[in-house]
């Protein structure tokens, strides 16, 4: 697999954008960076773009110039922008029009050791934005593992149909798989299935319910997207069943969802992976899924997974423990700190291997919520709610939901009799990304806490059931 310099100028392999314009935009962005490099060395680039052409052009230009590039979320709100700007102190921001009214710090000096870094945003246990430090080599290792898993020793091209954000690892790796294996990448517009949307001819032809093009393509979905396909039904499900493989990750898929997919013969490959591992490190074979399997499958060739006690002692299958990953696609650390053990990653997941060597994920060690494929940390939301001064106590948790997997639920204790939930929601609107906004609210006179001050989770669940 090649370097960015060797393969970036491939012709007409991306469907859904003007390819010639994309190549021209890469060259333009390269020239902009080269001008900055004459003064700064390898400038840090903060890339915050929703438009696929602009995002991919900025990414490739930064990689070609070996400049560290931070992949940002266009839906960040004020508090997240403040965190990121203070952490990154970028020399270049693409696109500055996304910025809310915040102070932009003076760039810190460029660092030689950051040359070639590709930094992907992720959340931490406190809800703070973090960037996993990847390189072209770690992303390439992930692609090689995926290719070997599905095609063995054959170096077949991976054709990807991308309906996920490119700034997420799940969308980014679809681009990388198609780029590095000389496959095709088809970029689906967000509202491509709406009859009011005008589509490019090649996209419209691919989306035709009778099209046979999906037979040679991989599609990646989060469970919420799959649920919406099943609810829609009709010819679109027949079209979906034609895909070579449908990778499903970004959170656990519930039994009713999987059963519905089997009924329609959808070739799901349930995956396990994360930003830190550059996406999947274990994947279920679609044929096994259709036969009834509902686990995360076997470990990919570039990875090793162990199940350990929290004291970091190994466990014999099929006992449950902490999932620990070693892989060549593992990130180098969280910006700006490098991992002390760069090949071993202790996840916050609980799982076990069955007697056939398949990985089962059964729970989490942290309070992390996965809603619609997005990782959300309750601590961040709780802190912001308390900072409004409108409540005196709060807890945030994830409730099961048929569309989102989990729905973000906030339970608050008002600080005054004049409390207004609408006023509280308005305060949060410009502070939190939309996917972090609680979708369900409860107002209680007090929260059930034990003598140590911790929430009594079982009592809280009972209170919510009574309140419904």
Assigned domain for 126 exists = no
Q: Tell me, yes or no, whether 79 and 155 share the same domain.
A: no
DSSP 109: P
What's the pLDDT at 117? 98
Confidence of residue 155 (pLDDT cuts 50, 70, 90): confident
Q: Tell me, yes or no, whether 323 and 258 share the same domain.
A: yes
Beta-bridge partner residues of 395: 411
Q: Tell me, yes or no, whether 89 and 35 share the same domain.
A: yes
Least confident stretch, 11-20, 28-37, 238-247: 11-20
Q: Tell me, yes or no, whether 360 and 462 share the same domain.
A: no
What's the pLDDT at 387? 85
- What's the CA gap between 464 and 223, in Å, rounded? 25
Please tell me which residue, 427 or 375, carries the higher pLDDT value.
Answer: 427
Confidence of residue 451 (pLDDT cuts 50, 70, 90): low
Name the one residue in this structure whose structure tokens are 């230009």. 61
Q: Tell me, yes or no, whether 375 and 358 share the same domain.
A: no
Q: Is the dihedral of CA 371, 373, 377, 380 positive or negative?
A: negative
Burial class of 412 by CB neighbour count within 10 A (0 to 12, 13 to 18, 19+) = buried
Confidence of residue 313 (pLDDT cuts 50, 70, 90): low
Q: In this model, does residue 126 exceed pLDDT 70?
A: no
**Tokens of residue 151, six digits:** 């095609």
Helix, strand, coil % (nearest 5) of the chain? Answer: 35, 25, 40
Assigned domain for 132 exists = no
The overall average pLDDT reported for the chain is: 90
**Domain end among 312, 347, 364:** 364
- What's the CA gap between 305 and 322, in Å, rounded? 10
Assigned domain for 265 exists = yes
Q: In this model, does residue 93 exceed pLDDT 80?
A: yes
Tens digits of residue pLDDT in 100-110: 778 888 999 99
Assigned domain for 451 exists = yes
Q: In this model, does residue 151 exceed pLDDT 90?
A: yes
What is the number of other CB atoms lying within 10 angstroms of the CB of residue 241?
14
For range 247-262, the mean pLDDT = 89
For range 342-366, the mean pLDDT = 87
- What's the CA gap between 102 and 156, in Å, rounded? 47
Q: For residues 73-90, b (16+ Cβ closer than 10 Å) or e, as one string?
A: bebbbebbbbbbbebbeb
Q: In this model, does residue 452 exceed pLDDT 80?
A: no
Confidence of residue 373 (pLDDT cuts 50, 70, 90): confident
Tens digits of residue pLDDT in 264-311: 999 999 999 999 999 999 999 999 999 999 999 999 999 999 998 765
Q: Tell me, yes or no, whether 344 and 418 share the same domain.
A: no
Q: Is the dihedral of CA 206, 211, 213, 214 positive or negative?
A: positive
What's the pLDDT at 13? 94
What is the number of other CB atoms lying within 10 angstroms of the CB of residue 27?
14
Confidence of residue 319 (pLDDT cuts 50, 70, 90): confident
Q: Tell me, yes or no, whether 325 and 381 share the same domain.
A: no
> Which has the closest alpha carbon to 402: 231, 274, 193, 194?
231
Assigned domain for 222 exists = yes
152: CB partners within 8 A, 6+ apart: none
Q: In this model, does residue 331 exceed pLDDT 90?
A: yes
Q: Tell me, yes or no, whether 319 and 197 share the same domain.
A: yes
Domain count, the chain: 3
What's the pLDDT at 288? 97
- Would you call 413 helix, strand, or coil by DSSP? strand
Q: In this model, does residue 31 exceed pLDDT 80?
A: yes
Q: Tell me, yes or no, whether 425 and 462 share the same domain.
A: yes
Q: In this model, does residue 192 exceed pLDDT 90?
A: no
What's the pLDDT at 364? 80
Assigned domain for 128 exists = no
- What's the CA gap between 303 and 430, in Å, rounded? 40
Assigned domain for 131 exists = no
- What's the CA gap between 2 and 335, in Å, rounded? 26
Q: In this model, does residue 227 exceed pLDDT 70?
A: yes
Tens digits of residue pLDDT in 35-83: 999 998 999 999 999 999 999 999 999 999 999 999 999 988 888 899 9
Q: For residues 303-321, b (16+ Cβ closer than 10 Å) or e, as one string?
A: bebebeeeeeeeeeeeeeb
**Domain end among 115, 148, 173:** 115
Tens digits of residue pLDDT in 285-298: 999 999 999 999 99
Assigned domain for 291 exists = yes
Tens digits of residue pLDDT in 386-421: 888 899 889 999 888 888 889 999 999 999 999 999
pTM to 2 decimals? 0.85
Beta-bridge partner residues of 129: 123
Q: Tell me, yes or no, whether 260 and 216 share the same domain.
A: yes
DSSP 297: -
What's the pLDDT at 316? 63
Say how many residues make up the chain.
468
Q: Tell me, yes or no, whether 273 and 204 share the same domain.
A: yes
Q: What percent of the chain has pLDDT over 90?
A: 62
Q: Which domain holds residue 462?
A: 369-467
- What's the CA gap between 433 and 242, in Å, rounded? 35
């Amino acid at each position: 697999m090649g370097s960015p310099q060797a393969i970036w100028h491939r012709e007409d392999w991306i469907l859904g954008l003007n390819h010639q314009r994309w190549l021209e935009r890469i060259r333009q962005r390269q020239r902009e960076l080269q001008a900055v490099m004459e003064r700064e060395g390898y400038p840090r680039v903060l890339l915050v773009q929703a438009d696929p052409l602009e995002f991919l052009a900025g990414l490739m230009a930064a990689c070609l110039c070996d400049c560290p590039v931070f992949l940002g979320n266009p839906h960040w709100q004020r508090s997240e922008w403040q965190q990121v700007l203070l952490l990154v102190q970028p020399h270049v921001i693409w696109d500055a029009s996304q910025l809310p009214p915040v102070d932009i710090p003076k760039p810190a000096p460029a660092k030689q050791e950051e040359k070639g870094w590709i930094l992907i945003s992720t959340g931490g246990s406190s809800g703070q934005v973090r960037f996993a430090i990847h390189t072209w080599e770690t992303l390439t290792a992930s692609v090689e593992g995926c290719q070997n898993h599905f095609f063995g020793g054959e170096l077949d091209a991976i054709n990807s149909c991308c309906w996920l954000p490119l700034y997420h690892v799940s969308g980014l790796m679809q681009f990388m798989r198609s780029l590095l294996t000389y496959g095709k990448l088809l970029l689906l517009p967000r509202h491509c299935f709406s009859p009011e949307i005008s589509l490019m001819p090649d996209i419209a032809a691919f989306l035709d319910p009778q099209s046979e093009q999906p037979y040679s393509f991989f599609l990646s979905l989060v469970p919420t997207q799959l649920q919406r396909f099943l609810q829609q039904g009709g010819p679109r499900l027949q079209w979906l069943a034609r895909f070579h493989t449908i990778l499903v990750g970004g959170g656990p898929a519930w039994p009713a969802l999987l059963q519905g997919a089997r009924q329609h013969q959808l070739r799901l490959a349930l995956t396990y992976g994360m930003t830190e591992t550059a996406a999947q490190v274990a994947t279920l074979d679609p044929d096994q899924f259709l036969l009834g399997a509902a686990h995360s499958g076997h470990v990919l060739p570039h990875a090793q997974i162990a199940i350990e006690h929290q004291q970091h002692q190994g466990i014999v299958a099929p006992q449950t423990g902490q999932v620990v990953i070693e892989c060549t696609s593992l990130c180098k650390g969280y910006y700006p700190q490098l991992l002390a053990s760069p090949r071993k990653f202790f996840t916050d997941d609980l799982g076990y291997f069955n007697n056939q060597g398949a990985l089962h994920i059964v729970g989490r060690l942290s309070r992390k919520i996965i809603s619609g494929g997005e990782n959300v940390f309750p601590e961040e939301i709780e802190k912001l709610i308390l900072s409004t001064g409108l409540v005196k106590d709060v807890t945030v948790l994830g409730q099961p939901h048929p569309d989102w997997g989990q729905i973000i639920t906030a339970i608050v204790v008002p600080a005054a009799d004049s409390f207004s939930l609408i006023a509280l929601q308005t305060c949060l609107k410009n502070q939190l990304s939309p996917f972090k906004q609680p979708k369900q609210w409860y107002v209680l006179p007090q929260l059930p806490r034990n003598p140590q001050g911790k929430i009594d989770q079982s009592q809280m669940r009972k209170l919510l059931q009574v309140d419904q």
